[in-house]
Amino acid sequence: MTDVPVVPTAAEPLPWLEEMPPRQIVAELDRYIVGQDAAKRAVAIAVRNRWRRMQAPDPLRDEITPYNIILIGPTGVGKTEVARRLARLAGAPFVKVEASKFTEVGYVGRDAESMVRDLVDAAITMVRSEREDDIFPQAERRADDRLLDLLLPPAPPPPGPEAGAGAGIPPETERRARALDTLRGQLKDGKLDEREVEIELAAQSYPMPEWMQPPQGPEGADFNVGEWLQEMLPKRKKRRTVRVADARRILIDEELRKMVDMDDVVNEALDRVENHGIIFIDEIDKIAGERSQTGPDVSREGVQRDLLPIVEGSTVQTRYGYVRTDHILFIAAGAFHVSKPSDLIPELQGRFPIRVELRPLTEQDFVRIMTEPENALTKQYQALVAAEGASLEFTADGIAEIARLASLANDRMENIGARRLHTVLSTLMEQALFDLPDGSTRRIVVDRNVVTAKLAAIIGDDDLRRYIL
């Protein structure tokens, strides 16, 4: 399923998510997610509380703990979509993980602390990108200067007394300055993009083969000996002839790397992780319930006990330093078809005080999902058809019939929520998309009759329905 008083336009940068009032956060989510108001409100309040905490007096600030949330509901009702849209809106570090991918410490697999390290990596990328955006004009100017020197190398100084201090500006220098101004304008306008220049690049380093890899550090330590050795070795250079457009991009990237203060980036990123970070733990129901009777179950209670200290607050070692998790916001989600939230260990339950149940989707919800969101499936298919120079129209009765058949398929088979719309629409549009652009029809209309003709037989056949829808 489908990442305000005043809704910013696409051209306007959104403010930090935590600086948005709850109503505005909900309004932003409403643009993409149909219904599930309770989940939107809970998430909006929890996120806004991060900002409210930072306004509290110092003695109280550390005592205000995050309002961690568990989203409960069947598959396809919007739990993951809420997380995905939060990630798009968030000016805070955000990472989504799947609890089922973790294994208990001591077993091969991902440990629970890796999600904190992933969050730090996301924060580093976010802050570095912000820094690069701020200094991009300067980096662009420096790269252009280097590129112009390659296109028009400076002339050697003339010999003799004319090169002295009192000789004034040589005519050659004046001519070169005028030529550089002309070339700079042509460079900005893209008129030199197809010309070729020779630049010096750092040789690309490739990962060592497995048989050459040195032994790794202790399990869970975020340290790669191979990466460390590559950093210690001297950087190799090579010369390469490339188009001016490509050379400009390469040189800008190189200047950005030189100008960004990574120590400052790391410090800012770690602060954001500790005070604003959000971790979405999906499929938490997969680690709930009784332990397996056939052998060790390294993906259930053991993982819960590994998650517990991180959620309640601990210190995690990362490659950039130590991170406290006391004020990271954790949002968990699960279908809980087989298990229930009370099957989690009591200590972990207590760290998720807010529980929100997402309701199953109805046939009318399917109609809204196909018409209201800005990224509705019908609009996506219209864009795909428009790319071939044709038009696609979904009539109201056609959309209603698609919703009815999707709801019917969910009732007769496994209920996968709004994801059923994807399978129904892909089956419905398969032939039309195959015929484009060779087909003679440039206008495609999907009404009730078209939907019934293409899908009714599949819906009525148990075997076809099982394998196609």
Of residues 173 and 46, the one with the higher pLDDT is: 46
Strands (E), 113-209: 196-202
Percent of the residues in the chain that have a pLDDT greater than 90, as a whole number: 12
Residue 87 reports pLDDT greater than 80? no
pLDDT at 463: 58
- Please state, in angstroms and rounded to a whole number, the distance separating the CA atoms of residues 244 and 264: 32
Q: Are 331 and 69 in contact (CB under 8 A)?
A: yes
Each as own residue / partner, the long-range contacts of residues 342-348 (CB below 8 Å, 24 or more positions apart, any chain) are 343/288, 343/289, 343/290, 344/284, 344/287, 344/288, 344/304, 345/301, 345/304, 345/305, 345/308, 347/308, 347/312, 348/304, 348/307, 348/308, 348/311
pLDDT at 283: 86
Residue 235 reports pLDDT greater than 60? yes
Q: Would you state the structure tokens that stand for residue 154, as one six-digit string?
A: 């400076």
- Please state, in angstroms and rounded to a whole number, the distance separating the CA atoms of residues 21 and 102: 35
Mean pLDDT, the chain, whole residue set: 79
Tokens 């989690």 sit at which residue? 344
Residues 272-288 pLDDT 10s: 899 888 899 988 888 88
**Across 4-23, average pLDDT:** 53
- What are the angstrom distances between the C-alpha of 349 and each of 208, 220, 285, 341? 44, 25, 12, 7
pLDDT at 383: 92
Of residues 246 and 210, the one with the higher pLDDT is: 246
The string of DSSP letters for 396-461 reads HHHHHHHHHHHHHHHHHS---TTHHHHHHHHHHHHHHHHHTTTSS--EEEE-HHHHHHHHHHHHH-
Instruction: List the beta bridge partners of residue 71.
Output: 333, 356
**Across 309-326, average pLDDT:** 90
Nearest of 18, 19, 37, 16 to residue 27 by alpha carbon: 37
Each as own residue / partner, the long-range contacts of residues 20-26 (CB below 8 Å, 24 or more positions apart, any chain) are 20/48, 20/89, 21/48, 22/47, 22/48, 25/89
Which residues have a Cβ under 8 Å from the Cβ of 96 and sit 6 or more positions away?
80, 83, 84, 87, 279, 280, 282
Q: pLDDT confidence of 121, banded at 50, 70, 90?
A: very high
pLDDT at 467: 55
**Across 3-20, average pLDDT:** 46
Q: Which domains does the chain have, with CATH numbers?
A: 17-123+271-357 (3.40.50.300), 135-155+172-266 (no CATH), 363-468 (1.10.8.60)
Q: Would you state the structure tokens that stand for residue 422, as one six-digit string?
A: 């994807």
At 220, phi and psi to the nearest 5? 95, -20
Residue 210 reports pLDDT greater than 50? no
Secondary structure (3-state) at 110: strand
- Please state, in angstroms and rounded to a whole number, the distance separating the CA atoms of residues 415 and 71: 18
Residue 217 reports pLDDT greater than 50? no
- Give the orientation angle of helix 377-386 with respect to helix 419-435, to 10 degrees: 20
Length of the chain: 469
Q: pLDDT confidence of 84, banded at 50, 70, 90?
A: confident
Number of Cβ within 10 Å of residue 366's Cβ equals 26
Q: Are 151 and 183 in contact (CB under 8 A)?
A: yes
Residues 421-442 pLDDT 10s: 888 898 888 888 888 887 677 8
Instruction: List the beta bridge partners of residue 199.
Output: 240
pLDDT at 124: 92
Residues 127-149 pLDDT 10s: 999 889 888 989 888 888 888 88
pTM above 0.85, yes or no: no
Sign of the C-alpha dihedral computed for residues 379, 381, 386 and 391 taken in this order: negative
Q: Are 454 and 405 in contact (CB under 8 A)?
A: no
Of residues 177 and 389, the one with the higher pLDDT is: 389
Secondary structure (3-state) at 381: helix
Geometric angle at alpha carbon 30, from 335 and 1, rounded to 5°: 35
Residue 49 reports pLDDT greater than 80? yes
Number of Cβ within 10 Å of residue 28's Cβ equals 23
pLDDT at 292: 47
- Give the orientation angle of helix 419-435 with respect to helix 448-460, to 10 degrees: 120
